[in-house]
A and B are shown apart, each in its own frame.
Chain A
Amino acid sequence: MFNFFHNSNIFIWIEKLINFINSIFFVLLLVALSFALIFSPPDYLQGDSVRIMYVHVPAAWIGLASFTAIAFLSIINFIFKIKNLTLIAKSIAPIGLLFTCVAIVTGSIWGKPTWGTFWAWDARITSMVILAIFYLLFILTHKFLLEKSKANNVSSLIAIVGLINIPIVKYSVEWWATLHQPASIKISGTSSIHSSMLMPLLLMFFVLILYCALIFLMKYKTEIIRIKKKNLKRI
C-alpha cells in the first residue's frame, strides 16, 4: 500500500493520467462549449449575457477551492512537515491564481451589460482581488526566498492567513449590500438555477477541473524531475 505512494510509482501514474486526460479533453470541451454557447437558453432578464456565467462561475469556484486546498495542505505541512505537501501546494498555486484572475476579468466584462460598469469596489470583487494578492504572495515567496525551509514556512503562513479571506469572499454578498447577486447554487437547500442552465454549468466546471488536473500533474511532474535532477549525484 505505502509502496504506491513512492515517487516513482506516482510518476508512472502521473504519465498515465496525463495521457488519459489529453485523450478525452478536447471532445468534452467541444460538448461543453456547444451547450454553453448554443444549446443553453438565454436568461429572461439578462438575455444572452448570462452565458458568461459558464466561464465566470467555474473559474471563481476553482480559485476559491484551490486556495482552500493550499491552506489546508499548509496547516498539515506546518504540523507534520511532509515534503510532498509543499510540492502539491506549489503546483496548485499558479492554477488558482490563473482562475481567480479569469473570474475577476470575466466578472468585470459581465458587469458592463448587467450593472453598467466594468468595475466597482464591491465587497465580492474586492475580496476576490485580495485572494489574487494572497496567491501572488504565496508564489513569489517560493520564487524569491532561496532558503527552502524559510520559503515553506513563510508561504504556509501566507496561506493560513489568506484562509480568513475565503469565507469573506463566500458570504460577502450576504453580509454587505453588494452589486453582486447572491449564490444561485446551494449545496444544502434548493438552488434557484434552472436545470437547463445548471447542466452546461456543471459540464463546463468538469472540463475546467480536467484542465486543472492536467496542469497540476504536469507541474507536479516538473517538481519531481527538478528534485531528482538536484539529487542525481546522490543516486
Chain B
Amino acid sequence: MINNLILMNGYGIFVWSSFVITFLVCGIFYYKTRKTLKKYEKEFAKEIENLSAEQKKIVLENSKIASKILSAYNKTI
C-alpha cells in the first residue's frame, strides 16, 4: 500500500514533485511573511519604548494598535 502511494503507478515523481513544490513554496512564503510582520511589530514597539514618558502616554492613549503591539511585545521578552 505504501509502495503504491509512493509510486502511483509510475506517476509518483510527477504527483509528489507537484505537491512538494506547492507546499514548500507556500511554507517559505508563510515563514517570510510572518518574519516581516514580527520585525515590524518589534521595531514599532521599540520606537514606542524609546519615546519620552509623556509622549509614550499620549501615544498609548490615542492608539489602540500601539498599546496592543507594545503589550504583545512586552509579553515576548
Contacts and interface: CB of A to CB of B under 8 A. Distances in A.
Interface in B18-44: 18-19, 21-22, 25-26, 29-30, 33-34, 36-37, 40-41, 43-44
A232 B55 CA distance: 10
Given A112-B14, A235-B58, A218 B63 contact: no
A126 B21 CA distance: 21
A36 B12 CA distance: 13
A222 to B, nearest CB: 5
Given A102-B21, A229-B40, A113 B33 contact: no
Contacts of A110: 14, 18
Given A8-B65, A55-B18, A235-B59, A221 B37 contact: yes
A219 B51 CA distance: 26
Contact of B22 (A48, A55, A219, A226): A55
Contacts of B36: 222
Contact of A229 (B9, B34, B43): B43
A222 B51 CA distance: 21
A49 B64 contact: no
B30 A105 contact: no
B69 A225 contact: yes
A102 B25 CA distance: 8
Interface string B55-76: 0001100111110110000000
A51 B11 CA distance: 9
Interface residues of B, number: 37
Contact of B30 (A33, A109, A214): A214
- State the main secondary structure of chain A at its contact with B: helix
A102 B23 CA distance: 10
A187 to B, nearest CB: 24
B26 A235 contact: no
A235 B9 CA distance: 64
Interface in A217-235: 218-219, 221-222, 224-226, 228-229, 232, 235
Interface of B: 5, 8-12, 14-15, 17-19, 21-22, 25-26, 29-30, 33-34, 36-37, 40-41, 43-44, 47-48, 51, 58-59, 62-66, 68-69
Interface of A: 7-8, 11-12, 15, 33, 36-38, 42, 47-49, 51-52, 55-56, 59, 94, 98, 101-102, 105-106, 109-110, 112-113, 211, 214-215, 218-219, 221-222, 224-226, 228-229, 232, 235
